[in-house]
Amino acid sequence: MRYLYSALFYLLLPVVVLRMLWRSRRAPAYRKRLAERFGVLDAGIPGEAESIWVHAVSVGETLAAAPLIESLLERYPGHPLVVTTTTPTGSERVQALFGNRVFHVYAPWDLPGAVRRFLRATRPRLLLIMETELWPNMLHYTTGAGCRTLLANARLSERSAKGYARFGALTRELLQDLDTVACQAEADGQRFLSLGLPEQALHITGSIKFDLELDAVMREQAAQLRSELGTGRRPVLVAASTHPGEDEQVLQAFSRVRETQDNCLLVLVPRHPERFDDVFLLCQQAGWQVRRRSAGALPAMADDILLGDTMGELVLLLGAATVAVIGGSLVEHGGHNVLEPAAWGVPVVTGPYMFNFAEVSELLVAAGGMIRLDDPAQLGGCLQALLGDPQRRLEMGAAGQQVVADNRGARKRLLELVAGHMES
């Protein structure tokens, strides 16, 4: 089955390349470093030591993996650390967070030749794949090279499981190449088992996103930002990681909020940078006074919206929020990380589509730290009521922080699994 998959990938390769070039019209970084996608690197890992390979797809996975990567750098200084991503935004985050402390390139496309070239250049002893980024050739050739494989912080929604089930033979073959799957929740693990994962490979470790650390520097920066945005004088509504079709809904809800909170500031943060200009124009065309975060000027009290058009600042912006709305949940995308605002003690509101974060959402809703709407049309009324109820916001914020505190420890459990593979 894998041979058929590989043949199909080769046939579709011109389409894949053209799609990259098409995306580069809006995000020029997509046309750069294309050789890395074929496993052709300017230089390999120096020396003879085997590496540890961490693969994260984009910004979200990179930020989730960042504390784990720091621990790996500290614990295994004799092994070069290779960190791969598939998107330019993920690449930018890796370089900003770790600089030359890690060896960073794009992950090779899942072609036999590309993967083999990459493995020869990087010599991994252990591959850690963040969340559920599974590629048949990557796993087949990595395992064949004697490298151990660990799927870390794994999650598998019902929808994704049904998708994998359509390719049952290929999925079973793929899962047989995983030495360890460290799942966020029992339900995720059961879905992996139903698809053919060997039972001895499964471990339930929890989500490393609960181990988010808001250090003293971050807290000081957030306090400064709250002062700059005037959070003490007006409510600040942060709409985080919005997708197409959501910005319009957020702006409509914001109009409703302004009926009772006429000085409220909306901080609108699109998920993808290629959408920054479009969302800026959308806000202007709706008649709002908008400033761009990238311009550097602080929003005045007369400004309505601050466009979060910078990279790597979302956690900081959430630290200045009165209430946070999480994108990807007002359309059928599956939601994004709700633990970042919860860790700050910020009340969380989402739409109904949180299937990618179902277990975490259930914990927060049950504790009272999050409101999950039945219908996106309810967003305006919900925000209007919440912003008018300071006591409820305090209670929700405290409940969210308690959920985060009660579920820490996944990184420690994950590092124990890593140690078992490195020592074996």
Give the single-character DSSP code of 184: S
Question: Taking the C-alpha atoms of 175, 176, 178 and 184 in order, what is their torsion angle to the nearest 10 degrees?
Answer: 40
φ/ψ (deg, to 5) at 212: -55, 130
> Does the annotation count 274 as an active-site position?
no
**256 membership: H or E segment, kind and range:** helix 247-258
Q: Are 119 and 89 in contact (CB under 8 A)?
A: no
Give the distance, in angstroms, between the CA of residue 177 and the centroid of all CA atoms in the same chain.
25
| Contacts for 169-177: CB closer than 8 Å, 24+ residues apart | 169/1, 170/1, 170/2, 170/5, 170/136, 171/195, 171/196, 172/196, 173/1, 173/2, 173/136, 173/140, 174/134, 174/136, 174/139, 175/201, 177/139, 177/140, 177/142, 177/143, 177/149
Of 36, 50, 61, 340, the catalytic one is 61
Which residue is it, tokens 């990259």?
Answer: 20
Catalytic residue IDs: 61
